[in-house]
Structure formats: C-alpha cells, structure tokens
Amino acid sequence: MIIGTNSSLLHMKQYLFFAIFIFFFTHHSFAQKEVQSQINAITEKEYPRLEELYKHLHANPELSNMEKNTAASVAKELREAGFVVTENVGGYGVVGVLKNGEGRTILVRADIDGLPVKEETGLPYASKAIVKDDKNTDQPAMHACGHDIHISVMLGTAKAISQLKNQWKGTLVFIGQPAEEKVQGAERMLKDGLYTRFPRPDYCISLHASASLPAGKVGYCPEYSMANVNSVNITVYGEGGHGAYPHTTKDPIVLSAYLITQLQTIVSRQTSPLEPCVVTVGSIHGGSKHNIISNEVKLQLTLRSYSEKVRQNTIESIKKITRGLGIAAGLPESKFPKVEIDNENGYALYNHPELTDKVVKSLKSAIGEQNVEKVPPVMAAEDFGELGKVNPSIPVCMYWLGTVSQEKYDESQSTGLQMPSLHSSLFAPLPEPSIKTGIKTMTKAVFDLLGEGVKKK
Ligand SMILES: [Zn+2]
Ligand SMILES: [Zn+2]
C-alpha cells in the first residue's frame, strides 16, 4: 500500500512537471512564432519604401569619408523610427539610440560607403555617379560591396524593432559607419566617443552581403571569419645610370625582383602552414625607358592574417628583408628601402562563439534551419571587429546575407564559373529577397538578445 501511494504520488508529480514543461515549451515556441509573424508582417509593410530608398542609395553612392548625403538619409530614417540621432560622429558617422527601460544594450552596425568602381551591371538603377574622393579627385562610384543593402536592412530593422517596443526592454544603438572601405570608420567612431557619449553595448551585431550565397539564405562562421589587413608601401632606391653600364649603378629593378621573391618566403618558410597568411605585391612601378637604370621602384602590398602574432611577424619580416636587401646591394643606409605601413592595428573579425551560437538560433527561427549555412572564413577584411576590441572587450558577431539569384547560383555550381564577387563592377544583388531576409533575421536576432534581460552583475 505504502509503496503504491508513494508511486502514484510520484506519478502525479511527474505528470505535473511534464504538463508544466509542455505548457511552457509550447507557450514559448508559440510566442516565438507569434513574434516572427509580426516581424514578417512589418517587413512586408515597410518593404516598398525601403526598396525605393535602396535604389536611391544604389544610384547615388558616396566614397569613404565623403558620405554626407548617405549619412543624412540614415539619420532621417532612424529619427522617423523613433531613435534619438547624433550625426558627425567620427566623420560622417550616425548614431541612433532608442531607450526602452532596463535591459541589454545591443549595437547594430551598417557601413555606408561605396567604392571607386564604374558600375557595369546594366541595372535600371545602376550608378552613373562621378564623385569626389577624399583627395578631391573625380572618381566613378558604385555600391560594389553591398553597403546599400546593409543600410536598407538596418533601417528596416529599426522600423520593425521599434514597432515591437511593447514586447521588449533595453537599449538599441544603431550606427551608420563611414569609411569602412578604408578600414578607418570604426576606429574613428570609437575615438569620437561611441562608447562614452552613447550607451556601451553588451553585444554588437552586423551583417554583410554575400556574393556567393543565394538570396533568402544566410551564412555564419564562428571565431575568426575575416582577416587583418595592412597596406604597405615600399620604395626601393638605387643609383641610376645608363642601361649599358650597369656596373656603375645600383639597379632598383633587379633589387625589386629579389625583394618580391624573398617576400614569398614569409608565408612559405616563416609562417606555420596551419596559420593563414597572405603577402601580395599588387603593384610595382619603376623605370622610364629601355636603356635607363632608374633611381627608384615603388611597390604596394596587401597583407592578410588572422592572429596578431602572424600579423606582427609579417611586418617585422618585411622590415628585415628590405634592410638585408639594402646591405647586400651595398647601398648607404640612407638609401635602404623605405617601408611604410598604413596602420598599426589588426582588424581581424573574431565572431564571439557564444554570441554566434545565440545569433544562429535566432537566424534559424527566423527563416528556417535549411536556410542557415555554416560557411568557411575568408581573407577579406572588415573593420566591424574593431567595435569589440575595447577594454573590456565586447562580443561581436557578423553574419553573411545571401544576395544572389538561385538560378545564377545553380548555374555557377554546375558550370564551375565564378559569379561576380564583392567589389566587382558586375555585382548585382537581388534587392527584395535579400533585404527582406536581412530584416527578418536581424530583427529576430536583436529581439532575442534583448530578451536576455538585465545583465547579471
Ligand atoms: Zn568592401
Ligand atoms: Zn563591405
């Protein structure tokens, strides 16, 4: 009897626990679905205006550090979504803040600059713009990196999340970041008080258009996903003279040829094969005529890496190799090759694994597991990662937003022919499915992160 009573009590307890669990589980997933259908409805409602804005931005790109009108559009739209907006933060940076009670602070970033590329897509809203760059030179301009998509998604997200205000608490910081293509904007916004004049975020999230994923899909890559970049200028000096009397000269063209082959050994012989590293000599200019040995040759390099150690080692090696070249050539110290490195910072994007896990859950719940792909890291660079490299550090996560038509994607898969990449004059993202997917996923990610509530001290 006693045993019987105990066991039926146990059964009842188990049943009750199970019922409560089922209730919360179904209630929770019902609430999740409910929020997503609200987000989807707002996205559909806001889209026509956003597409107009997108096409306007696409036809009117502005170059790094010159994004005056683009920034004004971002500021105007954020104000309309209910954000308190400050302009001219670290250049043409825009910061919109929306406070809605106690809770997490989430930063969402869109970069806003175009590239000096002449658009060749033939789209009806293609850019024909010729604009001034920050050195006052006329340049063709194009949103060849999809930053116009990023702006449209962020503004759509601002509209959607502010319309759901009665369902979350916390603070939003939405930023339009200038000069990404020069990897300057993030740092300048930080120096201009992004985290002191405005609320300091618990998380930073962002997306980037992908030229290799179909529209409707998104991709994610935990940990290192984009590389450090350093641009390097090297001037190789010589002692010029007649091409027929080489023994009376120090030929900088021959020295440059040595230099280029030696630079290859930084990756192949000095860096662990398990550590990504790229040293590319992208430009070499020297000499004027067949029979003249010139006084100098100029080279331009790009360096890529993930770890700070590899980045530093590559820079140090370049300094050593160039110095050694000067010694071997018998040049005076004043004529040793001059090496100029554009910045002392590493920009590698490290997607915080825990934050990435959370964001991926939101992405899957927004557009379905089958539309969320894990993708490999790339050696392209982005300065978004800078927003996390502060003390104490802030978790950051950037995911990829597919923009390619499924048809073109399938064709490229079957033929092996490459699709136009980011920065290509032919890059033509599909606006509607890309922007809608961006808004649905970004809004859900922001909403879920806000749902974590006040941070435990
Ligand atoms: Zn770019
Ligand atoms: Zn970009």
Confidence of residue 360 (pLDDT cuts 50, 70, 90): very high
Query: From ligand 2's centre to the CA of 180, what distance in Å?
Result: 7
* Mean pLDDT (whole number) for 292-318: 96
Q: What is the pLDDT of residue 453?
A: 85
Give the ligand with the smallest distance to the CA of 149: 2
- Catalytic residue, chosen from 113, 148, 382, 448, is 113
- Percentage of residues in the chain having pLDDT higher than 70: 93
- Catalytic residue, chosen from 111, 180, 181, 448, is 180
Q: Known catalytic residue: 296?
A: no
The DSSP line for 146-161 is -HHHHHHHHHHHHHHH
Domain with CATH 3.30.70.360 in the chain: 230-341
Asked whether 418 and 412 are in contact (CB, 8 A), the reply is yes
Nearest to 331 by CA among 283, 259, 265: 259
Q: Known catalytic residue: 344?
A: no
pTM: 0.88
* Mean pLDDT (whole number) for 365-383: 96
Confidence of residue 1 (pLDDT cuts 50, 70, 90): very low
Give the ligand with the smallest distance to the CA of 116: 1
Query: From ligand 2's centre to the CA of 146, what distance in Å?
Result: 6
Give the ligand with the smallest distance to the CA of 210: 2
Query: From ligand 2's centre to the CA of 387, what distance in Å?
Result: 15
Nearest to 455 by CA among 165, 203, 197: 203
Question: What are the pLDDT digits (tens) for 413-455?
Answer: 999 999 999 999 999 999 999 999 999 999 999 999 999 988 7
**Integer Cα distance of 40 and 437 in angstroms:** 9
Query: From ligand 1's centre to the CA of 181, what distance in Å?
Result: 5
Domain with CATH 3.40.630.10 in the chain: 28-227+357-450
Question: What are the pLDDT digits (tens) for 46-100?
Answer: 999 999 999 999 999 999 999 999 999 999 999 999 999 999 999 999 999 999 9
Residue ranges near ligand 2 (ion) with Cβ within 5 Å? 145
**Integer Cα distance of 361 and 83 in angstroms:** 27
Query: From ligand 2's centre to the CA of 382, what distance in Å?
Result: 7
Question: What are the pLDDT digits (tens) for 141-195?
Answer: 999 999 999 999 999 999 999 999 999 999 999 999 999 999 999 999 999 999 9
**How high does pLDDT run on average in the chain?**
94
pLDDT for 5 beyond 70: no
Confidence of residue 294 (pLDDT cuts 50, 70, 90): very high
Query: From ligand 1's centre to the CA of 230, what distance in Å?
Result: 15
The CATH code belonging to domain 28-227+357-450 is: 3.40.630.10
When the candidates are 3.10.20.30, 3.30.70.20, 3.30.70.360, 2.60.120.10, the CATH number that belongs to 230-341 is 3.30.70.360
CA-based angle 315:254:282, to the nearest 5? 45
